[in-house]
Structure 1
Amino acid sequence: MTDLIKHSPNSPILLTASLHVDEARKAISNLVNEILQESCKLNHASDIESIPLDQAINRILAEDLLSPIDVPAADNSAMDGFALNGDCLSESENIMTLKVVGTAYAGKPYEGKIAQGECLKIMTGALMPHGCDTVIPQELTKSADDSIVSLKQNQVKRGENRRLRGEDLTRDKAAITAGRLLRPSDLGLAASLGIAKLQVRRKLKVAILSSGDELRPLGQALDAGSIYDSNRYSLTGLLNRLNLEIIDCGIVRDDPASLKAAFLEAASKADVLISSGGVSVGEVDFTKQIMQELGDVGFWKIAMRPGRPMAFGMLKPAQPSGRKTLFFGLPGNPVAVMVTFYQFVRSALLQLNGANQTEPPLTQAISEVAIRKKPGRTEFQRAILGRGIDGKPTVKLTGSQGAGILRSMSEANCFVILPHDQGNVAEGEWVDVALFDGLL
């Protein structure tokens, strides 16, 4: 097992030992790093492309985005109020009266000067007028008419409610760092800097296939013992969340010739191959034989539920100058496919694509029910996150947690994650929760 953890694809195939979830993660991350290092040596310039800003959502930023301007570009007001020279302020509660000599609007700077005893009505975002360094919020003042305003001298301190030039960003400073999975707020930030195009990592090409003689495509009548293939549709949705290029290799029969042809096609076109089905102890022979010919793979039993059987490794490149194809052989049960994708594949894809943040965030909630759990495995229970009458986050399971019950995923909005050494969970106990939104 030690060799597998260090060099997963080059070690003997394992069918009996169960890996801890964290061990499996580490082995996958190590192999992805090896592939990335080899790719750097090959110096693939095509791995980076320039795209319009409005097409960059969920892409990986390839280089630091440097601000071409100071943000803000000049001192400006942080709120609606009255701009004045802070020399007139003190610790006293004495009332002072100032003459209002004009108004400064955002986008329309006030060109005049402010003398002692004067102030200027100012709107949020408007440039600070010459001679003014402080803004009094409008609600802290009193005025008999539009030309006079009164306030206590100690209402604010000098310099308050003013945004300084370069306070957010200075010119040539990184506004967004390379490796960022770009979110809507990042696109807005780039637009605020006047940047119309971004340098991003090329979309990974991910091939998917489902293996099994019992599988039928949608639209075809089911015969005895057959089922519709749902896994490719789940995987397509998961991959679209990451804005990747999908190569659908369809349903592949359980025979060596068909599997080998599908794997060769994937190796010639894709950076990653994800298959579902055909990785349990009784079904592994064909895939094992083919992977020994085309690359290296480890077959694992992982101490988790659902999703215990899984294969992982790589296919040799179709061309000597090409990059190796990462391979994930996921279980056939629909829920197990999604759990193993969430737990292992998603992070590997982000890492391979150059992301600097690959692990999904966790939160905690109070379990509304007792949950049975055996120590010695990590469990991913499908659940619904809500809020109790006291305002604290609560979570409840969606019912039966069988690996083939896809409805348990459809009704859920999160996973309850029960760690390896965790035992039974009592009602009212805090548990770790991972939200689906943005992940699944």
Structure 2
Amino acid sequence: MSACGCSGSGLRPVDEAIAALMDFAPPAPPTVCVDLEEALGRILAEDIHSPIDLPLWDNSAMDGYALRSADMGPTGARLKIAGCIAAGDAAQVELQPGQAMRIFTGAPLPPGADSVIAQEDCEVDGDWLQVPVVEHGSHVRCRGEELCVGDALLSAGKKLRAQDLGLMASVGLDRVKVFRPLRVCLLSSGDELREPGESLAPGQIYNANRFSVGALLRGWGVEVHDYGVLADTLAASRDALSLAASEWDVLITSGGVSVGDRDYLKQAIRELGELHLWKLKMQPGKPLAFGSIAGKPWIGLPGNPAAALVTALVVARPFLWRAQGRSVVDTLPVTLPAGFDWPTANSRRQYLRARLELGGDGVACICLHPQQGSAMLRAASWADGLAVVEAGRTLHAGEPLPFLSFSELGA
């Protein structure tokens, strides 16, 4: 990667940095076959085609009566009820001219029938049925109407959802080939960090990033291996990173990538591998870094909790999704009116913690939390997503603004 900005003299635009990271995405993990019950959220590793027609036979779309449209006169027909067929029955008796057959939703049409009339649209008189005019094919689900043998069902690289599992089950598939979860090592950097539940000495803080970033990774289907907190020494950083690179697919750290005298991670990366990128043109999250050790990608998130969360969502997420074998990694923002003024332009793209609220006119608009500091997670917990204000832009309330929903980002 050229012009990486590692000297700190320049900031890499966010979109350019994400595109550059994609060039370093490793091949997808090995594949495994799993039962459908275990496939939710996994990444499909092969194209799926339907092994059968769906439906497998012409069947009724509702409870009513199967009949022959050829029996219809100008005002309908009076038909003899010749029997009953329910879902699960085999339709073996052929319907003769002048006959109708009671039928239930999903039941196969008897031979000779080509239409169905809903039970509420006709009159029953003993063994006779009076029907209005019925169009040919009315209320019939035809064989192969949804899928024919060989039709494309799902494409490799898709994250499997509940409806995808149901679709595969509907054509009789009970197992599916998926990529095994990406294995990510998560490390925190900072002598000041303590775990929740421990007491704090002066100058110490609780390790929020371990929980917020770790939860994001698990929500993205990643297998997380937590190496805990690194001591703020070059030797400790080198040892932990070297061990992690020998065991896991991707390394992610939080903290230790800024310009402080005790931020050793970048130096450790340079000694063990390569530092490809440092510092992005975004706020929060400027100190993000990216490199590799022994061919294993490393993402260095900032230490400030809001900055770590935002850079994980915006930059690390598409890279990790691609590394898991996902084919679609982009998320499309929605454009909605801003519910705030932004009078002063910033030199970096802003990712503001925001949520959608209904205005007095009943139209949804984007509202900001008043606390936008890079160390403050309260705003992110309050928010539904991120309002994106481009570098150099000012705006007035009511102007259109992109909004990235947390749900679309997998948060």
Same fold (TM over 0.5): yes
Residue 8 of structure 1 aligns with which residue?
A: none
Go from structure 1 to structure 2 and tell me whether the alpha carbon gap of 1:373 and 1:348 turns closer, same or farther (over 3 Å shift). farther
DSSP-derived class of the 1:434 partner: strand
Shift of 1:420: 4.3
> Quick one: which of 293, 316, 334 aligns to 1:363?
334
**Contact 1:210 1:250 survives alignment (8 Å):** yes
Residue 115 of structure 1 aligns with which residue?
A: 96
Q: How many residues are aligned here?
A: 410
Go from structure 1 to structure 2 and tell me whether the alpha carbon gap of 1:95 and 1:204 turns closer, same or farther (over 3 Å shift). same
- The reply to whether residue 67 of structure 1 matches residue 47 of structure 2 is no
Q: In structure 2, what is the Cα distance between the partners aligned to 1:282 and 1:59?
A: 40
Question: Gapped runs of 5+ residues in structure 2?
Answer: none
**Contact 1:14 1:298 survives alignment (8 Å):** no
- The reply to whether residue 380 of structure 1 matches residue 351 of structure 2 is yes
Partner amino acid for 2:89?
A: K
Go from structure 1 to structure 2 and tell me whether the alpha carbon gap of 1:335 and 1:161 turns closer, same or farther (over 3 Å shift). same
- The reply to whether residue 345 of structure 1 matches residue 328 of structure 2 is no
Residue 152 of structure 1 aligns with which residue?
A: 132
**Contact 2:157 2:326 survives alignment (8 Å):** yes
Q: In structure 2, what is the Cα distance between the partners aligned to 1:66 and 1:383?
A: 42
Residue 427 of structure 1 aligns with which residue?
A: 397
Residue 239 of structure 1 aligns with which residue?
A: 217
Runs of 4+ in 1 over 4 A off after TM superposition: 386-392
Residue 325 of structure 2 aligns with which residue?
A: 354
Shift of 1:285: 6.0
**Contact 1:89 1:158 survives alignment (8 Å):** no
Residue 199 of structure 2 aligns with which residue?
A: 221
Show CA shifts across 1:131-172 (max 9, x none). Answer: 122223344x1315464444432xx53223322222222224
Residue 395 of structure 1 aligns with which residue?
A: 366
- The reply to whether residue 408 of structure 1 matches residue 341 of structure 2 is no
> Quick one: which of 193, 196, 203 aligns to 2:174?
196
Residue 321 of structure 1 aligns with which residue?
A: none
Partner amino acid for 1:159?
A: G
Go from structure 1 to structure 2 and tell me whether the alpha carbon gap of 1:372 and 1:215 turns closer, same or farther (over 3 Å shift). farther
**Contact 1:365 1:392 survives alignment (8 Å):** no
Residue 162 of structure 1 aligns with which residue?
A: 140
Identity, in percent, stands at 37
Go from structure 1 to structure 2 and tell me whether the alpha carbon gap of 1:21 and 1:148 turns closer, same or farther (over 3 Å shift). farther
Q: In structure 1, what is the Cα distance between the partners aligned to 2:126 and 2:389?
A: 64
Show CA shifts across 1:71-126 (max 9, x none). Answer: 21111122333322232458x6x343333333322112343222223222322211
> Quick one: which of 62, 74, 77 aligns to 1:96?
77
Question: Gapped runs of 5+ residues in structure 1?
Answer: 5-10, 40-45, 317-323
Moved more, 94-103 or 299-308: 94-103
Go from structure 1 to structure 2 and tell me whether the alpha carbon gap of 1:396 and 1:148 turns closer, same or farther (over 3 Å shift). farther
Name the Cα RMSD after superposition.
Answer: 2.5
TM-score (norm 2): 0.91
Q: In structure 1, what is the Cα distance between the partners aligned to 2:338 and 2:102?
A: 54
Go from structure 1 to structure 2 and tell me whether the alpha carbon gap of 1:351 and 1:283 turns closer, same or farther (over 3 Å shift). farther
Q: In structure 1, what is the Cα distance between the partners aligned to 2:88 and 2:391?
A: 58
Pairwise mapping of residues 310-349 of structure 1 onto structure 2 (< 5 A)?
310-316=288-294, 324-349=295-320
> Quick one: which of 268, 271, 275 aligns to 1:297?
275
Q: In structure 2, what is the Cα distance between the partners aligned to 1:145 and 1:216?
A: 81
**Contact 1:78 1:124 survives alignment (8 Å):** yes
Residue 183 of structure 1 aligns with which residue?
A: 161
